[in-house]
Chain A
Amino acid sequence: AQKVTQAQTEISVVEKEDVTLDCVYETRDTTYYLFWYKQPPSGELVFLIRRNSFDEQNEISGRYSWNFQKSTSSFNFTITASQVVDSAVYFCALSEAPSTGGFKTIFGAGTRLFVKA
């Protein structure tokens, strides 16, 4: 069954600290896609990154980096030198193709990150 677990409900850090948000997923498919989204206090949802199941390369974008490990079914997100503007809820998501058609995308429960000045 398709499942995404974000075990960290809330994380609080002080500005400039590094922080890692964990995401563990379950799927029976060999082809699937993983995503991270950000929801700042204003409420909109913003796409951050996508990874497919065949590409385990880590990715870095500025202060953001993502570590995808199929062996542990994890897709973790690290923010380096956190800033107050990083305060948000972060969601991990998994997309796979059910037999009924199309691709189905489900989300984890989210991790609320507080970055204090």
Chain B
Amino acid sequence: DAGITQSPRHKVTETGTPVTLRCHQTENHRYMYWYRQDPGHGLRLIHYSYGVKDTDKGEVSDGYSVSRSKTEDFLLTLESATSSQTSVYFCAISEWATRGAYFGPGTRLTVT
């Protein structure tokens, strides 16, 4: 199994609070992605990174920011959490974007 972990695995937070989710990999893969999964929408790309400090927006980036200061960590921050950001968040890594990605176990976030 690819070495990819997400923390926390579950979180409940209140509207308006900042939240940071962490994705950590031990594979030294170049690409890292953050997706959210919601019923009826499948997986939607939030942000992705193609190298240290190289990041770009995905389909649903509003209200989210990311940082990647080292190869192994990709942080997703909800600047001011809203109930619409209640979701399951998946991190994925890929050695090359043209290869298949390995996914983390997911983080279930509930914003009350």
A residues contacting B by CB (< 8 A) are: 6, 9, 33, 35, 37, 43-50, 52, 91, 93, 95, 97-98, 100-110
B99 beta carbon closer than 8 Å to chain A = yes
Q: From the candidates A45, A52, A109, name the one contacting B103 in the complex (CB within 8 A).
A: A45
* Contact residues in A for B105 (Cβ distance below 8 Å): 43-44
* Contact residues in B for A37 (Cβ distance below 8 Å): 100
A53 to chain B, nearest CB (A): 10
Q: From the candidates B43, B49, B56, B90, name the one contacting A98 in the complex (CB within 8 A).
A: B56
Q: Is the interface of B mostly helix, strand, loop or mixed?
A: strand
Q: Which of B54-84 contact A (CB under 8 A)?
A: 54, 56, 58-59
B residues contacting A by CB (< 8 A) are: 31, 33, 35, 40-45, 48-51, 54, 56, 58-59, 90, 92, 94, 96-103, 105-106
Q: Are A102 and B43 in contact (CB under 8 A)?
A: no
Q: Are B44 and A107 in contact (CB under 8 A)?
A: yes
Q: From the candidates B51, B54, B90, B101, name the one contacting A105 in the complex (CB within 8 A).
A: B101
Which residue of chain B is the closest to A103 with respect to CB atoms? B97
